[in-house]
Structure 1
Amino acid sequence: MKEYRLNVDPRILELLGPNLYTNIYYVLAELISNAYDADAKNVYIISNKDDIRVEDDGHGMSYEAGDIARYLNVAGVSRTTEEESHTKSGTRRKMGRKGVGKLAALSVSENVDVLTVANGEKSGFVLSRHPENGNELKAIPDESIVFERVEDHGSAIIMRHPQYRLHKTLDAVKRNLLKIFPLVDANFRIHVIRGTETVTIDDFDRSVMGELSTLITLGAKFAPLCDLVPDSYPDKRSELVVSQEVKTMPVTMKTSDGKEHEYPLEVLGWIGTYKTTRGRKAEMTDFPDNFISLFANEKMGEFNILPIVGQNKLNEVYVVGQLHVDLFELTDLPDMALSNRQGYKSDDPRYEAVREYVRNELLAEILKKREAFTDIVNAGKKLQKEEAQRNDEAKLRLSVDAFRKKASEEAAKALKELGVNVSREAMEEAISKSISANSPDLGLKAAVDAQKKKILISQTYPDKPFADIIYQMLVYNNVPTDDILYTNCDDEACRVPEGRAVYDYLREFFVESYSTQKIFVLFVTSENTKVSWGAITEVGASWITQIDHKIFNIHPFRPEHPLNDEVQWQSTNREEPTRGDLWMIRLNADVFCQKVEAICDALDYGKKTRAQNMAHLGTLVSIRNA
């Protein structure tokens, strides 16, 4: 009878077992990774009434060759050299490193059967959170080692009476698995089986890429994904789908021997945005559909960094991506995985470098492409609305001209009938009566005014985070998005129609219009303003047309004439003059709310109270006491 001895304090099983993972799909990902490292071509996830079984057709483990002894050496490092970093076949790079993942199944069940067969040699034992004989594990006799799907070689992990269950529909199970283990193709398939139902997962790329509207790939390995994104707008495809080179950044790290070295940190993978989110909530899964995952050596290390790198913008709900950074798992460098194996240490220089790159460059770039896609989709609707506005403007011109002509004629007729020798008061009364009689002809002016944008947020793109705060505070104070003109807004309703220049739009509907309504301008000023020709032009235009405006300034910049620098402007701080996190002292936060409320008063919007505005502002920006 074979003996199986666990090379670790059995109390570790009781401590780690139920706490190592809190989601069954992370457990399955570990077991699938083990199958991948065993050069399996098929993994079978079989959900039965009283157990969940994971079988694979990999090499299996030989008791005689010492494979099982190595398996039971929990937390033994599985790769210390480059040669050990590859599987037996030499065709795959190993995902496992620390050997802790083999305990993953104990997070689901108190007792787990491990069955394996290698070249016909069978072995089996029971992993338990509470071993009866210390390090000695209960052996499973050969006649009880039975597989459902494999024959001469492979392994099976049987989680008996599992605490967690798979989703009720296999389609949802498939979506969950694809999110955390995308490395599937014709050479590595995952089969999910429940009763008579079966779903096979063998093509990640096509199933996800077909749902996207925009895509950025990093590295030649992922460039072919671009061909899988639907070609909805061929003339604009180069703006929406693009392949880029690998992103490389230098990172200085200490190796295990304490010496510092500079390593090239390479980021590969892809990031995109969905065409729509409609219908997704109808089939709820255990993971959100908007995420940015981090992988190393093809294995997921952290499912979603979007909450960390994002800014809670509305259009972030469309974002999805998977980034691969193999330097996270370089054998020579410290392990950066968290103890629960569901994330990375946030203070590791490698993690910090990737986080800042995604936050400051990659995410901003894909969101701009999403904006471009939205503009293209809605271009027709916006052009129709603009054409209606233009037609009403033309009608207003005709009405005003007709009014002037008719009023003048009737005034002249009235004066003639009164004779030459009439008093000034009589003339004024006659003209006044004529104007009153014809004033209904100008009723269209109200309709024209109602169609116009009321507020322009003037800013440079580097100052978008601050402009976004102003925009969100306006919306919070019941300002309709259709009344706001904000060229870099995440909400397409605030941007000018696709293909239209903002200056042409402003000139046509505000400078050359017969309607006297002017736009209220909110200037976001900072050190970036001085180097932005567009921002300087807008400042000059507002002075020439005498448009009312408010100033929201980022220190240390100082607004000057022709802006109205004689009144108090709102001042906000930034960690660096041209970039970084924003913050305000309490006084400036109060001034911010005061200005937003003043705008609402001027344009007749139903503003919130000061206390409500201060509380909401505190959710958008850091407010400090000093």
Structure 2
Amino acid sequence: MAAVKRNLLKIFPLVNDDFRIHIIRGGEEVILDSYDENVATELSSIITLGDSYKKLIARVPNYYPLYRNDLVESRKSYKCPLTLTDNEGASHEYELEVEGWIGTYKTTRGRKAEVSDFPDNFISLYANNKMGEFNILPIVGQNKLNEVYVVGQLFVDLFEKSELPDMSLSNRQGYKSDDPRYIAVISFVRETLLPDILKKREKFADITKSEKKKKKLEEIKNDEAKFRQSVESFKGKTAQCIIAAIGGQDRQNEMTDIVNTAINENMPELGIKSQIDNNKKKILISHTYNDKPLADIVFQMLLHNNVPAEDIIYTNCDDEICRIPEGVSIYDYLRNFFVESYSTQKIYVLFITSENTQRAWGAMAEIGAAWITQVDNKIFNIPPFTPKHPLNDEATWHSTERDEHGTLSMSKLNADVFCQKIEHVCDQINYTKRTREENKTYLSTLVAIR
């Protein structure tokens, strides 16, 4: 009965208090009396067209109040003028009006309960409150993955204006694709409405990922704080017990310092930081936006050497998982990884340097933080810039040439040095690196080697 109800609602979604459908089988009875208001509670975003559908916005859950206006939107009905020929062969000006709504589900998990269920992602067309075409999504969409979240109902009464030619197909399950009215609606949905709702779906997905990142970051900070507190308590109690056992109360301060020093030196032997270390980012790609092309090459080479994207901080990465969580200050975020703590794992910094570096406050701040905390780092430089202190200017750095058009290239020697540095980072942080030949071959697909 539940499957029958779900599928009938997709065919007859205009049920209400005045038009109900009763499903009766034996002693069972199910009444269908509403659709769009119920489905709205399952959405993450919505765009309504026309005053009659504004009320649906209130039914969409407010998952992220700060971003509410980005996820739900009420618009006026879409109108456009058309010149059409009536049944008598005369041409007249008409106004095509589209009302209704389009939205995206929060999730598709568990929605298709039965194999025989009709699709949940569809955009239906109606005229005079009658369904004319169940799903135009295959026509207006581009078969993108996130289109599985889309659902909508659009109402175009001009489709069934009696003085105009009948545009319904002979089976009454669609419309003639060459009718100007149909072409206008398809064009509006394909070029405007569908792209707009998919942007809202992407925004919802980005916010959700960001919130998860923030939660994980907060968990790391809390774990660090709890661990710090427990270690300090352990050190204090241990020192007291040792002093009491050997009768060293008259030298309490001196003995406490000796015990604390011994504990600090041997903390890594305990292996009790592994859980916190495993939750921390491992690599920071420090760069300016103008040097993103070289930073992208470094990022791709890390991935090629089995470094997970989630272990990397890369603020201008095309992959959202590496960027700073939305709504979090970049400096607050980085401070959690640069700060000295009981953690045995410090972040490894890969500096992308050029003439742009000394003009970028963010990049200079990262260089200073790395120097203060003495973290390991590598330099990938673009001449004519010369790395200077506090960068490790005594170590050999890699050089990539950039011409006046912004095209990057490197010599065979520097290509080898590039691969050597990437492989060394992998060795230091225990990733399974590729062979030198494999790395040089892959690098040649990312940049010209001359």
TM-score over 0.5 for the pair: yes
3-state DSSP class of the match of 1:242? strand
**Identical pairs, percent:** 55
Rounded to whole Å, the distance in 2 between the matches of 1:497 and 1:226 is 27
What TM-score do you get using the length of structure 1 for normalisation? Answer: 0.41
- Alpha-carbon RMSD: 5.1
1:499 aligns with 2:359: no
Q: Cα–Cα, structure 1 residues 481 and 349, in superposed 2: closer, same or farther, change >3 Å?
A: farther
* Counterpart contact for 2:176–2:182, Cα < 8 Å: yes
Rounded to whole Å, the distance in 2 between the matches of 1:378 and 1:304 is 30
Q: Cα–Cα, structure 1 residues 447 and 174, in superposed 2: closer, same or farther, change >3 Å?
A: closer
Rounded to whole Å, the distance in 2 between the matches of 1:493 and 1:371 is 14
Rounded to whole Å, the distance in 1 between the matches of 2:380 and 2:168 is 56
Question: Which of 159, 180, 205 is equivalent to 1:349?
Answer: 180
Structure 2 gap segments, 5+ residues each: 223-267, 269-273, 291-302, 339-345, 365-378, 383-401, 410-421, 427-431, 435-450
Shift of 1:322: 0.7
Pairwise mapping of residues 530-545 of structure 1 onto structure 2 (< 5 A)?
A: none
1:273 aligns with 2:115: no
3-state DSSP class of the match of 2:69? helix
Rounded to whole Å, the distance in 1 between the matches of 2:184 and 2:306 is 40
Per the alignment, residue 28 of structure 2 pairs with: 197
Q: Cα–Cα, structure 1 residues 375 and 254, in superposed 2: closer, same or farther, change >3 Å?
A: same
* Counterpart contact for 2:281–2:337, Cα < 8 Å: no
Shift of 1:496: 4.4
Larger Rg: 1
Question: Which of 371, 388, 406 is equivalent to 1:564?
Answer: 406
Rounded to whole Å, the distance in 2 between the matches of 1:304 and 1:285 is 17
Question: Which of 114, 120, 127 is equivalent to 1:289?
Answer: 120
Shift of 1:190: 0.5
Pairwise mapping of residues 284-433 of structure 1 onto structure 2 (< 5 A)?
A: 284-385=115-216
1:180 aligns with 2:22: no
Shift of 1:566: 7.4
3-state DSSP class of the match of 1:265? strand
Structure 2 residue identity aligned to 1:564: G
Rounded to whole Å, the distance in 1 between the matches of 2:153 and 2:381 is 47
Shift of 1:485: 6.8
Structure 1 gap segments, 5+ residues each: 1-169, 392-439, 460-474, 521-536, 550-559, 568-599, 607-626
* Counterpart contact for 1:449–1:515, Cα < 8 Å: no
* Counterpart contact for 2:281–2:347, Cα < 8 Å: no
Shift of 1:288: 0.7
3-state DSSP class of the match of 1:172? helix
Per the alignment, residue 225 of structure 2 pairs with: none
- What whole-Å deviation, never above 9, does each CA across 1:224-252 have from its counterpart, x for those lacking one? 11122223333432222221111112233
Rounded to whole Å, the distance in 2 between the matches of 1:297 and 1:258 is 24
* Counterpart contact for 2:84–2:92, Cα < 8 Å: yes
Per the alignment, residue 517 of structure 1 pairs with: 350
* Counterpart contact for 1:175–1:285, Cα < 8 Å: no
In the comparison of the two structures, how many residue pairs are matched? 317
- What whole-Å deviation, never above 9, does each CA across 1:460-510 have from its counterpart, x for those lacking one? xxxxxxxxxxxxxxx999996646979897x86466422248899899999
* Counterpart contact for 2:286–2:350, Cα < 8 Å: no
Shift of 1:206: 2.8
Structure 2 residue identity aligned to 1:193: I
Q: Cα–Cα, structure 1 residues 252 and 318, in superposed 2: closer, same or farther, change >3 Å?
A: same
Rounded to whole Å, the distance in 2 between the matches of 1:477 and 1:288 is 41
3-state DSSP class of the match of 2:2? helix
3-state DSSP class of the match of 2:196? helix
Shift of 1:339: 2.7
Per the alignment, residue 245 of structure 2 pairs with: none
3-state DSSP class of the match of 2:51? coil
1:220 aligns with 2:86: no
Rounded to whole Å, the distance in 2 between the matches of 1:229 and 1:493 is 27
